[in-house]
Chain A
C-alpha cells in the first residue's frame, strides 16, 4: 500500500523566520514524483514544489526548498523568510512515473505565520 505520513498536524512560525514541514512516505516502487501542495482557506490547491525521485539534487523554488532523502523515504519542505501569505494547509503527495497518475496525499500540516 502507498502511504504518506505528515506527523505535524499544526505548526506556527514567526514572520520572516524559517520553518520545516516533515513528510515520510512508503512505496515499493522506485520511479516516482513527490509534491508539496498548499491549500489556503480559499481551498484552491496550489503546487508549491515538485521533485523527481531519480534526481539527487533537491528542488528549490524561490523561498521553498526540499530535503529529499530517498533511502529514508523522507521529503521535507523548508520555507525561508516566512510571509503571512504562507498561512495554509500543506499537503505532501507522490505519484508514480508510469501508469496512472493518481496522487497519494498525506493528511496535511496546518501552518500559521504569526506577524
Chain B
C-alpha cells in the first residue's frame, strides 16, 4: 500500500514570495491533515479536511495561508506572501476517518524563507 506522498521535499524562497505544497493521501483515507513543524517543536495542526470539507482550520493564518482539497483526494497548501517565520517543515497526514484513527504521515516539505 502506497503511503502519503508530498512534493516538493525542499523549497527555498525569499520573503513575500508565494509557495505551494502538494499532498496525496493514502487511498481510501477520508481525512487529511496539514501540520506545521517549526524546528525544535512538535507538529501543530494547520487544517483538517474530511473528504473535501474543512473540519478545523482554527490555527491556519488565513491572511496568508490557504488550502484546498478538490474532489476529496489530493490537497494543496499555499502561502502567499511568505514570511521568515514560515520556515518550517510542512507535514501532510491522512487517516481512514476521525475518532481516534491513526494518522499516517508523509515525508514532509522543508521550507526555508530567506
Residues of A participating in the B interface, judged by any CB pair closer than 8 Å: 4, 32-33, 35, 37, 42-47, 50, 52, 91, 93, 95-103, 105-108
CA distance A50 to B99 in the complex (A): 14
How many interface residues does B have (CB within 8 Å)? 29
Tell me whether A101 and B95 are in contact (CB under 8 A): yes
Residues of B participating in the A interface, judged by any CB pair closer than 8 Å: 31, 33, 35, 40-45, 48, 55-56, 89, 91, 93, 95, 97-108, 110
Given contacts A91-B42, A93-B42, A100-B56, contact A42 B107 (CB under 8 A): yes
CA distance A72 to B105 in the complex (A): 29
Tell me whether B48 and A107 are in contact (CB under 8 A): no
CA distance A66 to B110 in the complex (A): 31
Tell me whether B104 and A103 are in contact (CB under 8 A): no
Contacts of A47 in B (CB 8 A): 102, 104
Instruction: Name the residue on A nearest B95 (C-beta).
Output: A101
